[in-house]
Amino acid sequence: MNYEIKIASELNIKSHQVKATMDLLDEGGTVPFISRYRKEATGSLDEVQVAAVRDRLQQLRDLDKRREAVLKSIEEQGKLSPELKKAVENAETMAKLEDIYLPYKPKRRTKATIAREKGLEPLAERIFEQESIDLEEEASQYINEEKEVKSVEEALQGARDIIAEWINEKADLREKMRKLFLEEGNFTSKVIPGKEAEAVKYKDYFDWTEPIKTAPSHRVLAMRRGEKELFLMLDSCPVEQDALALIERVVIDSQKSNESVEQVKLAIKDCYKRLLKPSMETEVRLLTKKKADEEAIRVFAENLKQLLLGAPLGEKSVMAIDPGFRTGCKLVCLGPQGQFLHYESIFPHEPQKRTSEAGMTVKGLVDKFSIQAIAIGNGTAGRETEAFVKSLGLPKSVVVTMVNEAGASIYSASEVAREEFPDLDLTVRGAVSIGRRLMDPLAELVKIDPKSIGVGQYQHDVDQNALKNALDDTVMSAVNGVGVEVNTASKQLLTYVSGLGPVLAQNIIEFRNQNGPFKSRSQLLKVPRLGEKAFEQAAGFLRISQAKNPLDASAVHPERYALVESMAKDLGASIDDLVKSEDL
Q: What is the mean pLDDT of each run of 10 residues along the chain (584 residues)?
A: 89 94 95 94 94 95 95 93 93 92 88 92 93 89 84 93 95 94 95 93 94 92 93 94 96 90 95 95 92 89 88 91 93 92 94 93 95 94 94 93 88 88 89 93 87 71 87 92 91 94 95 93 95 95 90 91 84 74 55
Other CB atoms closer than 10 Å to residue 128's CB: what's the count? Answer: 19
Q: What is the CATH number of the domain that holds 400?
A: 3.30.420.140
Which domain covers residue 333, as residue numbers?
318-439
Q: What is the CATH number of the domain that holds 67?
A: 1.10.10.650
Omega into 351 within 30° of 0, i.e. cis?
yes
Percentages helix, strand, coil for the chain (3-state, rounded to 5) are 60, 10, 30
Instruction: Please indicate, yes or no, whether residues 161 and 268 belong to a single structural domain of this protein.
Output: yes
CB distance 88 to 63 below 8 Å:
no
Q: How many domains is the chain partitioned into structurally?
A: 4
Distance between CA atoms of 109 and 209, rounded to whole angstroms? 37
Per-residue confidence (pLDDT) for residue 454, from 0 to 100: 64
Instruction: Please indicate, yes or no, whether residues 292 and 149 belong to a single structural domain of this protein.
Output: yes
In a domain, 448, yes or no: no
Q: What is the CATH number of the domain that holds 127?
A: 1.10.3500.10
Instruction: Please indicate, yes or no, whether residues 262 and 372 belong to a single structural domain of this protein.
Output: no
Can you tell me whether residue 191 is helix, strand or coil?
strand
Instruction: Please indicate, yes or no, whether residues 379 and 519 belong to a single structural domain of this protein.
Output: no
In a domain, 444, yes or no: no
Per-residue confidence (pLDDT) for residue 584, from 0 to 100: 43
Instruction: Please indicate, yes or no, whether residues 99 and 115 belong to a single structural domain of this protein.
Output: no
Distance between CA atoms of 215 and 338, rounded to whole angstroms? 46
Q: Last residue of some domain: 68, 87, 104?
A: 104
Instruction: Please indicate, yes or no, whether residues 140 and 277 belong to a single structural domain of this protein.
Output: yes
Instruction: Please indicate, yes or no, whether residues 243 and 132 belong to a single structural domain of this protein.
Output: yes
In a domain, 291, yes or no: yes
Instruction: Please indicate, yes or no, whether residues 100 and 121 belong to a single structural domain of this protein.
Output: no
Per-residue confidence (pLDDT) for residue 415, from 0 to 100: 87
Per-residue confidence (pLDDT) for residue 254, from 0 to 100: 87
pTM of the model: 0.81
Q: What is the DSSP string of 110-174?
A: -HHHHHHHTT-HHHHHHHHTT----HHHHHHTT-BTTTTB-SHHHHHHHHHHHHHHHHHT-HHHH
In a domain, 248, yes or no: yes
Instruction: Please indicate, yes or no, whether residues 345 and 268 belong to a single structural domain of this protein.
Output: no
Q: Last residue of some domain: 104, 126, 156?
A: 104
How far is C-alpha 316 from the geometric centre of its chain's CA atoms?
Answer: 36
Instruction: Please indicate, yes or no, whether residues 275 and 417 belong to a single structural domain of this protein.
Output: no
Q: Last residue of some domain: 439, 468, 493?
A: 439
In a domain, 14, yes or no: yes
Q: How many helices (H) and strands (E) does the chain have?
A: 28, 10
CB distance 218 to 457 below 8 Å:
yes
In a domain, 544, yes or no: yes
Three-state SS string over 484-507 comes to EECCCCCHHHHHCCCCCCHHHHHH
Instruction: Please indicate, yes or no, whether residues 67 and 29 belong to a single structural domain of this protein.
Output: yes
Residue 122's contacts (CB-CB under 8 Å, 6 or more residues apart) are none
